[in-house]
Chains A and B, each alone.
Chain A
């Protein structure tokens, strides 16, 4: 039951972050040129956050529909383990790094 709940929340998060990214990228062309690189950094940070949420989503999808998935992907558990490791080791530190870069860029604005 908890797995279903978290899976639902992850799907909603995934959808909202994709929509947010879509609108931010679309609006970027109308923004000030000085801001563009900062917004790009924020977009990259959000992109890695989206990847992190996608990894969580896949993990919970595997937990819920394990029997169905393992039929056509027998080594799904190994893939998911690797994905989680990559997310924990690479995506999580990259998210705040990009935000910090954006802050540095905004700081130089006068």
Chain B
């Protein structure tokens, strides 16, 4: 719950409790309360302190005005409360004093007489004893006072003596001052001499210190120069070391590339040899095919001659012709195959050529 709301609720509760208390107070029989309580107005005033709290919870009064009214109500109720309490106290005090007087003066009442004898008399005796003590003490103080007066007189005599001595000293004072001046002068001269000497020494020391400082500065500069040179040397050393490492790395790379190139060159050579071999083989085949085709041509011519010669064995010739046709077809197929292989080899050769060129370019770049 919001604290402000809770505070407001508490204010309401407080006012309700105040009202309940006021109702109870109004219902109490005044006669019975007056037996015990001398002034019931105090309680009424205390209960009237609820009024500021009434104003506090009145929502229709603006806050500024409410605070002023509350403060004013507090003071308006508290002043009479104080006055009533004070008056009551005074009244009670007077009453009590009268009672005590009655106890002392009127001896006819046996209880009061007994009270006076038993309680007041010992007290009075005690007071009498204390009075005697005080008297004794005052006589002692008187004695001490007279002693102090005597001492005061002595002190006065001593003061006079001191005054006389002071006058004497005053008379001697100018002489002493002159002497003091003379001594001071002498001392001053001596001090001045010493001061001049010290100043010279100080100058010398300063000079020496300056020289030492200059030398120290020179040495410091030299040391700094050496340090700087040493640092530059260190840097150069590091640089050269790095460059050397770089070069080594490059060298290693080049070696590796050379090795790979050598390997590739060898591979290429081998491949080239193989291609050459295949080429030779193909050339041989072509020659063979050419020879065969020539043979076939001759055979065809022979056949034609034979055809002419042997018309009768047409059937046989026809069969032979068909066989020959088949063989021719086979040869044509072989020829086509050989042509395809040759094209393949040609492409491979071109590819190798290209690779060789690329390898040569790389080699040149590496170099």
Contact = CB atoms under 8 A, between A and B. Distances in A.
Nearest to A84: B7
A6 B71 contact: yes
B43 interface: yes
Contacts of B43: 42, 102, 106
Given A49-B49, A92-B53, A9 B21 contact: no
A42 to B, nearest CB: 6
15 contacts: A9-B72, A16-B79, A20-B78, A88-B10, A92-B11, A93-B13, A95-B49, A97-B17, A99-B17, A100-B17, A102-B21, A106-B24, A109-B32, A109-B35, A109-B36
Contacts of B13: 93
B33 A109 contact: yes
A63 to B, nearest CB: 11
Contacts, number: 122
Contacts of B27: 107
Given A26-B89, A103-B28, A96 B14 contact: yes
Interface in B69-90: 71-72, 74-75, 78-79, 81-82, 85-86, 88-89
B70 to A, nearest CB: 9
Interface size class of B (residues with CB under 8 A): 35 or more
Given A93-B14, A99-B46, A13 B75 contact: yes
A16 B78 contact: yes
Given A2-B64, A93-B10, A27 B24 contact: no
Contacts of A24: 42, 85
B37 interface: yes
B18 A99 contact: yes
Contact of A110 (B15, B32, B68, B79): B32
Interface of A is mostly: helix
A62 B9 CA distance: 26
Interface string A51-93: 0010010000000000000000000000000000100110011
B25 interface: yes
Interface in B1-45: 3, 6-7, 10-11, 13-15, 17-18, 20-21, 24-25, 27-28, 32-33, 35-37, 42-43
